[in-house]
């Protein structure tokens, strides 16, 4: 009987170890995808741009670190942003905001993939204005911001260069100017807490105490769900210049799912529920993974805090798989 128990424990351990290694392998493959900044709303990036000057009556902010430009104009001010060839691009007036479809910038600013401008568009091509807003602010993908991100950098270089965007304000030519910076990825030591957490879970798993497994797995799952909620809140509530309605809706739906799973864990639970908690927290960890592979993070929390949360979620998700498989073997059909 003792030999059969030992054999079964060995099989369980190998199965749990293989599952944990498989999950870690999937996580490790993720940086290859996350290495490039997202085309729409990245979580992490190695570049950061800021506005250093805007004309009187004009507010300008860089959105998504260096990808987009947001401009707001006083209702009493008439302003026209020019594209890189000097053609009128975005027009602000008392009636709202209009975009020139005969500007090359219109095609190059398409998201997620820039379109090819028609041949023959020049600075003197007659504008084709289309009204896009009755307000007085507009945001677009501005290639002049992130064009500097494609140049070769010297080792340790932080300031990449300056950028400027021509704008006509009440008939007078002026500039919106700024600078773009670079910060490389952080140290790989940030992944060590995840490895330590997995090692501690393996040590507890080897004790072969069903009571210990259930208590540890429940406490770990609840803690990870709480961290996952904080991490996703930090991502969805990040907004410049404002938080989007879609981000708030996604956050509420995410919190509802996390809350439902957490409430179920407060009662006697099965291994399948733990696997669900492991999948949810690992998904958040992988979503936030770019903060461990990039120099800047698009989140509301301090960089140190969000990185600590991410590495804990990655290691804790794998640890939960170990306990979930043990409970699945112990639970009756």
pLDDT band at 188 (very low <50, low <70, confident <90, very high): confident
Is the model more confident about 163 or about 155? 163
List, in order, residues 6 or more apart from 231 with CB less than 8 Å away: 284, 288, 299, 301, 306, 309, 310, 313
| Pairing assessment for the beta strands 137-141 and 159-169 based on DSSP bridges | unpaired
Q: What is the DSSP letter of 108?
A: H
State pLDDT tens for residues 213-254: 778 888 899 999 999 999 999 988 887 666 677 778 888 999
Task: Give the residue among 223, 177, 217, 224 at the shortest CA–CA distance from 322.
Answer: 217
The answer to whether the CB of 145 falls within 8 A of the CB of 49 is yes
Q: Which helix (H) or strand (E) holds 158?
A: none
pLDDT band at 86 (very low <50, low <70, confident <90, very high): very high
The CA distance from 74 to 62, in Å, is 18
The CA distance from 158 to 171, in Å, is 37
pLDDT band at 82 (very low <50, low <70, confident <90, very high): very high
List, in order, residues 6 or more apart from 196 with CB less than 8 Å away: 315
Check residue 17 and give its pLDDT.
47
State pLDDT tens for residues 104-117: 999 988 887 888 88
The CA distance from 304 to 309, in Å, is 9
Tokens of 233: 């809140």
The answer to whether the CB of 45 falls within 8 A of the CB of 62 is no
Long-range contacts formed by 228-233: CB under 8 A, 24+ apart: 228/258, 228/280, 228/281, 228/284, 228/285, 228/313, 229/254, 229/255, 229/258, 230/301, 230/309, 231/284, 231/288, 231/299, 231/301, 231/306, 231/309, 231/310, 231/313, 232/284, 232/287, 233/300
What average pLDDT is seen over the chain? 83
The CA distance from 45 to 297, in Å, is 6
- Which of 55-64, 181-190, 266-275, 293-302 has the least mean pLDDT? 266-275
Would you say residue 31 has pLDDT above 50?
no
87 exposed, middle or buried (CB, 10 Å; 0-12, 13-18, 19+)? buried
The answer to whether the CB of 103 falls within 8 A of the CB of 165 is no
Check residue 315 and give its pLDDT.
92
pTM of the model as a whole: 0.75
Would you say residue 331 has pLDDT above 90?
no
245 exposed, middle or buried (CB, 10 Å; 0-12, 13-18, 19+)? exposed
Tokens of 284: 């958040």
The CA distance from 143 to 108, in Å, is 8
List, in order, residues 6 or more apart from 71 with CB less than 8 Å away: 58, 59, 60, 81, 90, 92, 137, 138, 139, 176
The per-residue b/e assignment along 105-130, b for 16 or more CB within 10 angstroms, e otherwise, is bbebbeeeeeeebeeebeeebebeee
């Amino acid at each position: 009987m003792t030999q059969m128990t030992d054999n079964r424990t060995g099989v369980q351990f190998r199965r749990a170890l293989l599952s944990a290694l498989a999950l870690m392998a999937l996580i490790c493959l993720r940086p290859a995808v996350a290495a490039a900044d997202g085309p729409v709303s990245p979580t992490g990036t190695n570049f950061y741009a800021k506005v250093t000057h805007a004309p009187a009556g004009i507010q300008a902010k860089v959105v998504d670190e260096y990808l987009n430009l947001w401009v707001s104009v006083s209702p009493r001010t008439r302003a026209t942003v020019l594209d890189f060839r000097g053609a009128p691009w975005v027009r602000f007036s008392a009636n709202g905001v209009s975009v020139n479809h005969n500007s090359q910038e219109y095609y190059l600013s398409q998201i997620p993939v820039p379109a090819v401008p028609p041949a023959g568009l020049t600075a003197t091509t007659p504008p084709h204005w289309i009204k896009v807003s009755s307000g007085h602010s507009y945001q677009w993908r501005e290639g002049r911001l992130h064009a500097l991100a494609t140049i070769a950098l010297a080792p340790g270089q932080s300031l990449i260069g300056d950028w400027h965007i021509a704008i006509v304000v009440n008939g007078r030519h002026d500039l919106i100017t700024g600078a773009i910076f670079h910060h490389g990825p952080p140290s790989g030591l940030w992944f060590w807490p995840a490895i330590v957490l997995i090692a501690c879970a393996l040590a507890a798993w080897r004790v072969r105490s069903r009571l210990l497994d259930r208590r540890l797995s429940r406490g770990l799952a609840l803690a990870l769900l709480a961290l996952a909620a904080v991490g996703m809140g930090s991502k969805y509530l990040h907004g410049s210049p404002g938080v989007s309605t879609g981000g708030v809706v996604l956050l509420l739906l995410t919190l509802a799912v996390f809350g439902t799973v957490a409430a179920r864990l407060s009662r006697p639970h099965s291994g399948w529920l733990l696997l669900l908690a492991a999948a949810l927290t690992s998904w958040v960890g992988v979503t936030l993974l770019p903060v461990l592979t990039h120099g800047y993070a698009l989140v509301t929390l301090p960089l140190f805090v969000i990185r600590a949360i991410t590495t804990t979620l990655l290691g804790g998700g794998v640890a939960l798989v170990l306990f979930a498989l043990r409970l699945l073997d112990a639970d009756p059909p």
